[in-house]
Amino acid sequence: MFFKLINNTRIIIVKIINKIKSGHPGMPLGIADIFVIFWYKYYKINFKKINKDKIIISNGHGVLINYIMLYLSNIYKLKDLLNFRKIFSKTPAHPEKSLYINASTGPLGQGIGIGIGIALKSKILNNFNSFFNLFNSKIWIFCGDGCMMEGVSNETTSFCGNFNINNIILIFDSNNISIDGKVNNYFNDNIKIKFISLNWNVIGPLNGHCYLSINKSIKLARLSKFPTLIIFTTIIGFISPDKSNNEIVHGTIFCKKDYKNILKNYFFKKNYKKKIFFSNKKKYILYYIYFYKKKFFFLLKLIHKIFILNLINIFLVNYKTCLNKSTRFISSKVLEKICFLKEIIIGSADLSNSNLTINKNVLPILKNNFKNRYINYGVREFGMSLINYGIISDYLGFSVCSTFLVFMNYMYSSIRNTCMSKLSTIFLFTHDSFSVGEDGPSHQPIEQLQALRIIPRLYVFRPFNLIEIIISWFISLKLKKNSSSIILSRQNFLNKINFINLKNIINCGYNIFILKKNKIDLIIISSGSDIEICIFCYNYLKSFFNIKIVSIFCTKIFEKQKINYKKNLLNCNKVIVLESSNDDYWYKLKTKIFFILNVKKFGKSGEENHLRKYFSINKKILIKLCLYIINL
Question: Which are the catalytic amino acids?
Answer: 381
Spatial separation of the C-alpha atoms in residues 433 and 435, rounded to whole Å: 5
Provide the angle, in degrees to the nearest 10, between the axes of the packed helices 293-304 and 282-291: 130
The contacts of residue 51 (CB under 8 Å, 6+ apart) are: 44, 133, 134, 135, 136, 137
466 touches 318 (CB < 8 A): yes
End-to-end CA distance of the chain: 85
Write phi, then psi, for 281 (nearest 5 degrees): -80, -10
ω before 463 within 30° of 0 (cis)?
Answer: no
- Determine phi and psi for 110, rounding to 5 degrees: -70, -30
SS3 102: coil
| 282: number of Cβ within 10 Å | 8
Backbone angles phi and psi of 617, in degrees to 5 = -125, 85
Angle (CA) 158-162-166 rounded to 5° is: 95
DSSP code per residue over 288-308: HHHH-HHHHHHHHHHHHT---
Dihedral sign for Cα atoms in the order 53, 58, 64, 65: negative
- Per DSSP, helices labelled H in 142-235 are 145-149, 151-163, 191-197, 211-222
Name residues whose C-beta falls within 8 Å of residue 359's C-beta, 6 or more positions apart in sequence.
Answer: 332, 335, 336, 339
